[in-house]
Amino acid sequence: MLGIPYNGAIDMWSFGCILYELCIGYPLFPGEDEKDHMALMMEVKGVPPRSVLGRASRRKVFFDDDYQPIIKPNSKGKTRVPNSKSLTQLMSTQDPDFVDFIDVSSNFRIAESDDFFLSVEMYGVEN
């Protein structure tokens, strides 16, 4: 979506999104188009780090020259605000380990590492 090359870590992102949908019964980021999809991701995960955006060939589709998100209402008039929702809020589970797994596997920074487990370790998730 951002135009950044990806590796096997994208499979962990997908796996986390699939597990979320199996648990909740609804997709984690059900955007109506790519701009709404990015807005949904930022609503839960926050704005991607500058280190990620700096490598994004399609950054200007979603962000201004100061790396700030371009926030516009979707076709239904819904304006999504970065960091305004949490996974804990969205998930109906009392299992903090499951919420942590979904949180780490759907992290923007996961694409920065060639090794998913290194990324997991970076975020302090214990094995």
Number of domains the chain contains: 1
Tell me, what CATH number does 112's domain have?
Answer: 1.10.510.10
pLDDT, tens digit (0-9, with 9 covering 90-100), for 20-68: 999 999 999 999 999 999 999 999 999 988 888 888 899 999 999 999 9
Strand partners, 69: 63
| 78 domain-assigned | yes
Measure the CA dihedral 60/65/68/72, to 10°: -50
| 115 domain-assigned | yes
pLDDT, tens digit (0-9, with 9 covering 90-100), for 58-76: 999 999 999 999 999 999 9
Strand partners, 63: 69
Q: Identify the domain containing residue 114 by its residue range.
A: 9-122
pLDDT, tens digit (0-9, with 9 covering 90-100), for 67-122: 999 999 999 999 999 999 999 889 878 899 999 988 888 776 554 544 444 343 33
Q: Is 1 helix (H, G, I), strand (E, B) or coil?
A: coil
Q: What is the CA radius of gyration of the chain?
A: 15
Instruction: Report the run of H or E that residue 42 belongs to, with start and end.
Output: helix 34-45
| 3 domain-assigned | no
> And the tokens for 26?
């609804």
Q: Look up residue 110 and give its DSSP letter.
A: G
| 1 domain-assigned | no
| 4 domain-assigned | no
